[in-house]
Amino acid sequence: MSGPLDGIRVIDLTSVVMGPYASSVLADYGADVIKVEPPAGDVMRKSGPMRNVDMGHFYLSLGRNKRSVVLDLKQDQGREVLLRLARHADVLVYNIRPQAMARLGLGYETLQALNPRLVYAGAYGFSQKGPYARRPAYDDLIQGMCGIPWLAQQAGADKPRYAPMVLVDRMAGLQLCTAITSALVYRERTGRGQRVDVPMFEGMLSVILGEHLAGEQFVPAAGPSGYQRSLARDRRPYRTRDGYICVLVYNDKHWRSFFAAIGQSQMFDLDARFASQNERLRHIDHVYGYLSEVLATRTTDEWLRVFEQADIPAARLYSIDDIVADEHVQATGFVKTVRHPTEGEIRITAIPTEWSESMPENRRPAPALGEHTREVLLEFGYADGDIAAMRDRGVLGALAPTETKETT
């Protein structure tokens, strides 16, 4: 057994980031994830840098612990193969719009009739209950519609800008993963599978509005929207005499300790703007502005010693190279170098959870396109002759790099 989801079989029809990120978590946790790709492969295979065609850096991360099968679902026989896989699966996950799944003959009603225990999980842009149901969606669009670039400008950016990472896809991917595992628990209790929809827009709105409704949470409004601390213009890494430091002087104990450390113990009691959590929030621009001025007077190392002694959380501002070199990251082996069978030495991250019993592990490197097509189809009852005939008709794409004509 390797991981708590060992024995769970997932048919993964997803592409880009949101769905593949969710299925990568399931795969890390031990599920047998069969990634079904079109003959051209998942688009993220082509996102460089890369050493070999169709093995881009994004894919090397999102594809680990999965098996790759190529099927042309636009051909009847490709659809028939997919239905056979789904008949014996626990989960089918996809991230195209449900209307497109229905056009392929892979809608929920079809799959539910075929396999009543199947968890049929879809992730796409918008709830199917509203007027945006058929809209396409990408991370940048949903960030914009959830107000993230606007919030960045409110917090001091010179112009609206997206978060510098694929944020919504990964957030929605985690919600998708949670929904799937919860549906599996429900199935274990009842014996019934179900359809699960995870819309990106509503999923990200739950995060943004949970923080930034603020005064608008109340009816009538008790104040403006926007969580003041998150939007404070000086809530940022602070410049020191020789660099930057990240510090959170947050509660009353922190502030008393901070003022004592800089020889201003009386400030907490004399300046009402610092006297309580609520007062600091009301005057957050002044509070963070003051902190910014003080931190500019010493070096980063000096402040780190001060904050350690005062038991105030603080850290250096890291670059990506700093992260990889960090002593804690090195000691825990979280970023390690492994040898990929086609890509040579690559860096991977460890599975970011620790378990007392069913410890997950990295079992498989990210596969070449279609690497496991024959292996999987043999498991599902196809003979070598059937596989060769489907290959000739283009149902299974071209030969994968690890396959040979003799094996097919």
CA proximity to 400, closest of 383, 377, 382: 377
Of the listed ranges 86-95, 235-244, 398-407, the least confidently predicted one is 398-407
Q: Which residues 6+ apart lie within 8 Å of 7 measured at CB?
A: 30, 32
Banded pLDDT at 85 (limits 50, 70, 90): very high
pLDDT, tens digit, 9 for 90 and up, residues 191-233 = 999 999 999 999 999 999 999 999 999 999 999 999 998 999 8
Instruction: Provide mean pLDDT across the span 277-284.
Output: 93
pLDDT of 364 > 80? The answer is yes
Q: What pLDDT was estimated at residue 404?
A: 45
267: left (phi over 0), alpha (psi -120 to 50) or beta: alpha
Cβ-count burial of 13 within 10 angstroms (0-12 exposed, 13-18 middle, 19+ buried)?
buried
State mean pLDDT over 275-285: 93
Mean pLDDT of 293-318: 97
Of 346, 386, 380, 363, the residue nearest 61 (C-alpha): 346
pLDDT at 406: 40
- Secondary structure letter of residue 214 according to DSSP: G
What is the token pair recorded at 232?
């404070």
Residue in 392, 394, 400 with CA at minimum distance from that of residue 374: 400
Pick the residue with more confidence: 211 or 2? Answer: 211
Average pLDDT of 361-365?
94
Q: Contact at 8 Å (CB) between 90 and 119?
A: yes
Local confidence band at 399 (pLDDT 50, 70, 90 cut-offs): low
CB 358 within 8 A of CB 1: yes
* Residue 330: pLDDT over 80: yes
pLDDT at residue 165 is higher than 50: yes
Average pLDDT over residues 78-97: 97
pLDDT reported for residue 394 = 95
Instruction: Report the DSSP beta bridge partners of residue 56.
Output: 50
What is the arithmetic mean of pLDDT over 99-108? Answer: 94
Binned at pLDDT 50, 70 and 90, residue 408 comes out as very low
pLDDT at 1: 61
Predicted pLDDT at 397:
87
* Tally: H helices and E strands in the chain: 19, 11
- Count the neighbouring beta carbons within 10 Å of the beta carbon of residue 404: 10
Smallest CA-to-CA distance from 111 within 129, 133, 93 is with 93
Amino acid identity for residue 248 in this structure: L
Helices 300-310, 252-261: inter-axial angle, 10-degree rounding: 130
State mean pLDDT over 332-342: 96
